[in-house]
Amino acid sequence: LEMGETWEQCAIRECEEETGIVLERAQFLAVTNDHMPEDGKHYVTIIMIGVCASDQVAKLMEPEKCEGWSWEDWGKMPSPLFHPLSKLVRSGFELPSSEQVKQGNVFARTPPGLRMGCGIDLSTV
């Protein structure tokens, strides 16, 4: 986050900086708490979901940080993945439908026993 920036503003800015895709809006999806003692790291990762015009194509804007971009099926993500995203996929977390996202209603299903924040109806906030 930049100083004074909201999560939504950060997601929109970062998406454009890293992929060239301009989001119409972004909203909270989940948060993961990731202890990685083997790497000496502990991340709390805020995962956002965004809406963009369908004709946009992701570009490699930061080749020193990333090999490329591709659209993948949520249940069949390639390896390796960013650890927090990998954890979320393996947990059985289900994405909201594209219609829910377009309407601003994100109600993602979290499997029982998984401690994670999700499920915010932004239309009432």
Predicted confidence (pLDDT) at residue 116 exceeds the cutoff of 90: no
Predicted confidence (pLDDT) at residue 94 exceeds the cutoff of 50: yes
Write down the pLDDT at residue 19: 92
Which sequence spans correspond to the domains of the chain? Answer: 7-124
Other C-beta atoms lying within 10 Å of the C-beta of residue 49: 19
State the architecture of 7-124 in CATH terms: Alpha-Beta Complex (3.90)
Q: Which two tokens stand for residue 14?
A: 């970062």
- Secondary structure string (H, E, C) spanning 56-106: CCCCCCCCCCCCCCCCCCHHHCCCCCCHHHHHHHHCCCECCCHHHHHHCEE
Other C-beta atoms lying within 10 Å of the C-beta of residue 47: 20
Predicted confidence (pLDDT) at residue 95 exceeds the cutoff of 50: yes
Which residues, in sequence order, are CB contacts of 73 under 8 Å at separation 6+? Answer: none
Q: What is the pLDDT of residues 6-57, one digit of tens each?
A: 999 999 999 999 999 999 889 998 888 888 899 999 988 899 988 887 788 8
